[in-house]
Structure 1
């Protein structure tokens, strides 16, 4: 394994010194756990107090681990629905999203309002309840992924800029770490994201002041980042002005 053949196969070299079984605990756990009755055998051999520890140690999905992941998924679904509901109410109050995906999100909210209006005209004596509204918003909530400085509405993988940049256009989840929310057509910015962009502006200004005269390439790059962040902030402010503020400005 330590020779050329092992290196060619990508095998990890055996370290110098004595070899003992403790070095192979994880490998042994994985090998045991995937055999019939192996999870219990691995728990006993590794002297774990709980089988949950063994499941995580062996990286074996199932049992308590799968139940935990299911609970996490439910909580994320509830959180996303609450966010979409809040943004729908904000849009109705005149506090609108900004960013490349804002128009699409507003169109969706308008379609929800249209369905509510149709229901009211069809059955004027029936009061629309929150459950009906949540049902209409759930479809969009399922596409929501939270970024540090934006919301990603991953409705169409073919439109996701991050997947295009990564060369994985058929992936079923966005690559949030590669998100360029100022350009992606499925990204939106909201007032709650403003502090993040403000921090970006402050940091870029500090970095620009620290540059020497000869660092022209770095200055150009940072100035472009600064201009983008300032533009995002301006768009957030313009879109989030409620009807009262807007009316006051017109006067």
Structure 2
């Protein structure tokens, strides 16, 4: 345990960058026996260091005071302290494409990927207490991001491509039909609020991402092929997502810039001298990326 010399000493596997960082910290520490020590006292004495609670409060105040220039959303009032971040960050990061990989590195679960995946996924799994506090808010936040797509779909626009686009459109159409049939309810509840409620219920398993959106459905999820059979069907393994071919994958115009950038990067790479296996790999990936960008082109033509 940290700070408890009476407990047995434990050992962590770490990766080379972490080892180098610790070696640097050993040279910088002022403590005789510890690499990492509290620096609050020196911060209060004006000798540098940091006071986490004070610095977090200052950060929030600075963000809120400069929203007009930065365009950032206001951070709500409330007590925020360091210990609150780790689990929440783990759960949110685990829901993003490639978040499992980044999460494993951030949490230093880097001994072996096969072993680290189990630890990382466990840390990123919402427990009952977390779900009670945050899960509904996450669903509402996701629904809010879908409102503009719902409204575009209402006037007949094609707003998504990819293997899961038809299913995504069908879900949005179902919500729009419910809106049209809810005349009495719409008179009592503001339209956007009703939209959010219906979207949250229709897309309860939706995972929003920067590369694609995942309409989680275990039997058709490509990512589950990377897991042992007894672990499949519980949650998407977003680090193993195959967005261009998984039947749960949806691409919108908000995702297009990421795909265009990867296409340009691959074209630049292929202009260089490469080994035959690497060239074949890059060409295969380029074909996969272009299958997505071609769909974006077609969607714009039909708009």
Bin the TM-score by the shorter chain: 0.5 to 0.7
- Partner residue of 2:286? 226
Q: Whole-Å Cα distance in 2 between the matches of residues 52 and 204 of structure 1?
A: 40
More displaced stretch, 143-152 vs 87-96: 87-96
Q: CA deviation at 1:95?
A: 4.5
Instruction: Give the equivalent residue in structure 1 for 2:221.
Output: 160
C-alpha displacement of 1:24: 4.1
SS in 2 for 1:147: coil
Deviation at 1:113, TM superposition (A): 2.2
Contact 1:97 1:240 in 2 (8 A): no
Conserved 8 A contact 1:158-1:170: no
Aligned position for 1:191: 253
Is structure 2 residue 173 aligned with structure 1 residue 107? no
Query: Cα–Cα, structure 1 residues 24 and 236, in superposed 2: closer, same or farther, change >3 Å?
Result: farther
In structure 1, what is the Cα distance between the partners aligned to 2:181 and 2:136?
A: 31
Which structure has the larger Rg? 1
Question: What is the deviation of 1:160?
Answer: 1.1
Which residue is 1:177 aligned to?
239
SS of the residue 2:279 aligns to? helix
- Structure 2, gaps ≥5 residues long: 12-37, 41-52, 54-80, 88-122
TM-score, length basis structure 1? 0.62
CA contact (8 A) 1:201 1:229 kept: yes
From the superposition, tell whether residues 134 and 240 of structure 1 become closer, same or farther in structure 2 (CA, over 3 Å). Answer: farther
Partner of 2:206: 144
Shift in CA distance, 106/240, structure 1 to aligned 2, threshold 3 Å: farther
Distance in 2 between residues matched to 1:119 and 1:166, nearest whole Å: 43
Unaligned runs of 5+ in 1: 1-19, 28-46, 247-251
Cα deviation code 1:34-88 (max 9, x no counterpart) = xxxxxxxxxxxxx9x999859x79xxx9xxx986775443442222111222221
> Is this contact kept in 1: 2:164–2:248, CA < 8 A?
yes
Change (3 A) 1:23 1:240: farther
Deviation at 1:25, TM superposition (A): 6.9
TM-score normalized with structure 2 length = 0.53
Indicate the SS of the match to 2:255: helix
* Secondary structure of 2:207 counterpart: strand
Given the superposition, is the C-alpha separation of residues 175 and 126 from structure 1 closer, same or farther in structure 2, using an over 3 Å criterion? same
